């Protein structure tokens, strides 16, 4: 009996797998794959609260080897009382499945698992390899998830020839957007020091605010460059300014600002850090800045993988998808270091929102596209 992706999605939503908790989701997937002759490896990294459970499952030992990657961890549900249905209920109403992770990204996981199992039953003489890399750490620090599974895969000769990540890439309808790259991400925390004093005697104090404003000027404009051929402009966002000062009549001794820069392939994290430090030094020396980045930009060049996915999308939807590098980061940035990778999944309009939901029609269509992708890779072009 074929695996119903909608049924699998409902079962996965019912697992409260908020990062980094597995919540039973990986166990459900493993229980589905083992009877279908997948060799499953539970790969757990980290200790204590940082421990993350991951799953690598493979069918076949020969090439070509195609991997489907994704994550079962989800962001917190927020105010559960604001949901129409319980956020971890997997309720179906008017042709839609409601629940946290329905779009990002348990829906695409259910779709490609269902498609792969169906395809293998039809193509019993298949000689290549199909695998799944499923992590529980994408929505969190992304330290003990995909990046460490890839290290294990490399050590055990499991690196695929190409990979598809099922992130919700589409804007309005299935087939409108295929992501072939992502911008990098740089976080910063800037602390400027002044001298505390009474607001009635400002000449006896040094307010850190004017200094901070001048230091943040390059980030206040939003765009840092004009973009490149394949990427939109690098943009900066200030996410927090705080003094911890509860008194109305005290000039604080320090102010802290947090910011994020999403940068294209004309930049890199070190280059941006050097630029900002140089700018800060010109304004004042009495500051401290901390940077953190584990996401450099990547771009998958035109080739077989992009062609296969585009052909599968057009076969089932008649659309020619836009090739995009917009949005945030994803685990594809780690995979890109090992093999060609693209992202294609559901429509992302409700991801991370209250009442996150996906239409059953979209789940079934996405399943058809993934099934056709396997045809494109293993049958049509051979």
- pLDDT tens sequence across 284-336: 999 999 999 988 999 999 999 999 999 999 999 999 999 999 888 899 999 99
pLDDT of residue 164 exceeding 90: yes
| Shared domain check, 172 and 49 | yes
- Rounded mean pLDDT of 103-125? 96
| Shared domain check, 174 and 27 | yes
pLDDT the model gives residue 382: 54
- pLDDT tens sequence across 73-111: 999 999 999 999 999 999 999 999 999 999 999 999 999
Q: Where are the beta strands (DSSP E) in the chain?
A: 39-45, 52-59, 65-71, 92-93, 96-98, 129-135, 162-165, 177-179, 181-182, 184-193, 197-198, 235-242, 250-251, 254-263, 287-295, 298-299, 322-324, 341-343, 357-359
| Shared domain check, 165 and 302 | yes
Strands 96-98 and 92-93, sheet pairing: antiparallel
| Shared domain check, 165 and 305 | yes
CA–CA gap between residue 241 and residue 271 (Å, rounded):
24
CATH number for the domain that contains residue 206:
3.30.70.360
- pLDDT tens sequence across 178-199: 999 999 999 999 999 999 999 9
Domain final position from 231, 262, 295: 295
Both tokens of 85, joined, read: 């249905």
| Shared domain check, 326 and 243 | no
| Shared domain check, 313 and 339 | yes
Report pTM: 0.90
- Rounded mean pLDDT of 355-361? 98
Q: Write out the catalytic residue numbers.
A: 73, 138
- Give the 3-state secondary structure of residue 64: coil
Domain final position from 271, 295, 319: 295
| Shared domain check, 289 and 303 | no
- pLDDT tens sequence across 28-64: 999 999 999 999 999 999 999 899 999 999 999 999 9
DSSP string, 277-309: HHHHHHH-SSEEEEEEEEE--EEPPSSHHHHHH
Number of domains within the chain: 2
Domain limits at 327? 5-182+297-380
């Amino acid at each position: 009996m074929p695996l119903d992706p909608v049924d699998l999605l409902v079962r996965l939503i019912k697992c409260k797998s908020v990062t980094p908790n597995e919540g039973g989701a990986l166990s459900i997937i493993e229980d589905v794959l083992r009877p279908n002759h997948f060799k499953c490896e539970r790969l757990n990294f980290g200790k204590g609260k940082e421990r993350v459970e991951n799953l690598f499952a493979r069918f076949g030992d020969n090439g070509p080897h195609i991997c489907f990657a994704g994550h079962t961890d989800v962001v917190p549900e927020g105010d559960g009382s604001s949901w129409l249905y319980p956020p971890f209920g997997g309720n179906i109403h008017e042709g839609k499945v409601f629940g946290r992770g329905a779009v990002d990204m348990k829906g695409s996981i259910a779709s490609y698992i269902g498609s792969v199992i169906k395809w293998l039953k039809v193509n019993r003489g298949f000689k290549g390899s199909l695998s799944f890399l499923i992590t529980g750490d994408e929505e969190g620090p992304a330290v003990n998830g995909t990046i460490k599974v890839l290290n294990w895969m490399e050590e055990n000769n499991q690196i695929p020839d190409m990979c598809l990540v099922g992130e919700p890439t589409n804007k309005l309808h299935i087939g409108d957007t295929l992501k072939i790259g992502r911008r990098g991400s740089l976080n910063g925390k800037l602390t400027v020091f002044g001298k505390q004093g009474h607001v009635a005697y400002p000449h006896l104090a040094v307010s850190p605010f004017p200094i901070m404003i001048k230091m943040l000027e390059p980030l206040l404009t939003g765009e840092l460059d004009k973009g490149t051929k394949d990427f939109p402009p690098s943009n900066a966002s200030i996410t927090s300014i705080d003094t911890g000062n509860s008194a109305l009549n005290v000039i604080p001794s320090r102010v802290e600002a947090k910011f994020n820069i999403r940068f294209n392939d004309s930049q890199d994290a070190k280059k941006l850090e050097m630029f900002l430090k140089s700018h800060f030094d010109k304004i004042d020396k009495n500051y401290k800045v901390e940077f953190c980045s584990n996401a450099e930009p990547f771009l998958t060049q035109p080739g077989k993988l992009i062609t296969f996915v585009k052909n599968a999308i057009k076969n089932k939807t008649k659309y020619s998808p836009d090739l995009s590098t917009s949005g945030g980061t994803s685990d594809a940035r780690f995979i890109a270091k090992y093999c060609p990778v693209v992202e294609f999944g559901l429509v992302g309009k409700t991801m991370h929102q209250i009442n996150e939901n996906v239409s059953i029609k979209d789940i079934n269509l996405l399943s058809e596209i993934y099934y056709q992708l396997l045809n494109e890779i293993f049958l049509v072009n051979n």
